[in-house]
Amino acid sequence: MNSSQTDAPLPLAFALEAEDGLGRAGCLTLRRGRVYTPAFMPVGTAGSIKGVSSAELVADGAEIMLANTYHLMVRMGAETIARLGGLHSLNRWTKPILTDSGGFQVMSLAKLRTLNEEGVVFASHLDGKKFLLTPESAIEAQILLGAEVAMQLDECMALPAEREAVEAACLRSLRWAERARRAWQADSRVSESTGYGLFAIVQGGTDTRLRQESAETLVAQNFAGYAIGGLAVGEGQAAMLETLEATVPFLPAHKPRYLMGVGTPSDLVASVCRGVDLFDCVLPTRSGRTALAFVGCGTINLRNARHKDDLRPLDETCGCVACGAGYSRAWLHHLFRAGEILGAVLLTRHNLFHYQRLIRTLRRAICSKQLAAFATAFAAGEQQGERGAEVFPELPEL
């Protein structure tokens, strides 16, 4: 810690730099670096982005990564990672890390779980070993990992769900937020250090009254940032955006807003226009492994035979390592057909670069008051052809 900067420990700092409509450009200052927002966080499920080294991830433009607490707990274990120097020391990522609380994977992956007010008992999807995850132990695990940004444990539901169930999960998540906050504040490793923060998670499904109630209750507790959870879980983009519109007005302007697990390029553009600052999603990395490339406003599938003689790069205007080196669609098609992992690696890196390029273009658009124009151009590009226009809409020169 650089103690010369300040004598008293401060939580993370978030400065708004520009606004355009509801869109915001900001800067989040964390223990291990600055994150210019809007920002996209690549997902390192097991503490590592699939197929991409930390140096490469920096080269591709990421300023923060996400790691999954659940996967690290059931693999190495948070205590072991702490004993070996923490996640940053092990995965050689020197910039900030945000960890989820483990709650989402407990819901989606674990073979057995019993949930009560205390927390969740779950069985590892690997070996059945039982773990107890409480709001307090989720904080402890994330501090052991060394995350700059920790998330509260919440109860996440797949949609559609009964209103009563959504409300019960929402209210439970609020009680767990309070316990998470107390555990965080009681822990001097983070509460007395600069540049660490705990984010609460607004829940409530697509019920706007529940979302408002959840947001207001959490805001009153003064968290370092606010996530909007429980979306992109089956409700569709229109319902997601409506819920976002009904939630964001109840979040404070001077705190970062994080839309969890989202999404497609279209989701990013629309959500930035609605005031979201942070995103994470497996889509660019997972798609890279399944031959789907994000190009311009659309996608192309490199397994498709129509690429077999196509000597163009994925995107003439892209500066990623694959396009920059001149790998053609024809060769990438060959690599996927031949089962060569280099195809997956190159496409993963292209997709990560494309996401960073999109989010930075959105930031520049906000700073130059062109967000609405860019969003319109992007949406129009998405509607072209079967899979969207392969041309990336550049911002007009000012």
Q: Residue 350's closest CA among 373, 371, 368, 332?
A: 332
> CA torsion sign, 187 to 189 to 191 to 192?
positive
Q: What is the largest CA-CA distance in the chain?
A: 63
Q: Residue 358 gets which letter from DSSP? A: H
CB 82 to a second copy: min, Å: 12
Which residue number, 80 or 290, has a Cβ lying nearer to a second copy? 80
101: CB partners within 8 A, 6+ apart: 69, 133, 138, 142, 150, 151, 152, 153, 154, 180
Q: What stretch of H or E contains 359? A: helix 341-367
355: CB partners within 8 A, 6+ apart: 40, 42, 265, 268, 284, 294
Taking the C-alpha atoms of residue 225 and residue 12, their distance in angstroms, rounded to an integer, is 9
CB 141 to a second copy: min, Å: 16
CB 89 to a second copy: min, Å: 8
Does the footprint of a second copy cover residue 321 (CB under 8 A)?
A: yes
CB 307 to a second copy: min, Å: 12
Within residues 272-301, the interface with a second copy by CB under 8 A covers none
Question: Does the annotation count 310 as an active-site position?
Answer: no
Does the footprint of a second copy cover residue 194 (CB under 8 A)?
A: no
Which residue number, 192 or 309, has a Cβ lying nearer to a second copy? 309
For residue 335 the two structure tokens come to 């690599």
Out of 20, 267, 277, 280, which one is annotated catalytic? 280
CB 319 to a second copy: min, Å: 14
Taking the C-alpha atoms of residue 220 and residue 140, their distance in angstroms, rounded to an integer, is 23
Q: Is 145 exposed, middle or buried (0-12, 13-18, 19+ CB in 10 A)?
A: buried
CB 5 to a second copy: min, Å: 26
By rule CB under 8 A, what string of x and - marks binding of each residue 322-361 to a second copy? ---xxxx-xx--xx-xx-xxx-xxx---------------
Pair type for strands 298-301 and 257-259? unpaired
Does the footprint of a second copy cover residue 319 (CB under 8 A)?
A: no
Which residue number, 83 or 209, has a Cβ lying nearer to a second copy? 83
Which residue number, 93 or 223, has a Cβ lying nearer to a second copy? 93
Within residues 16-75, the interface with a second copy by CB under 8 A covers 46-55, 71, 75
Question: Does the annotation count 280 as an active-site position?
Answer: yes
Out of 100, 154, 267, 315, which one is annotated catalytic? 100
In this structure, which amino acid lies at residue 77? G
By rule CB under 8 A, what string of x and - marks binding of each residue 82-101 to a second copy? -xxx----xxx---------
Q: Which residues bind a second copy (CB under 8 A)?
A: 46-55, 71, 75-76, 80, 83-85, 90-92, 308-309, 311, 321, 325-328, 330-331, 334-335, 337-338, 340-342, 344-346
Residues taking part in catalysis: 100, 280
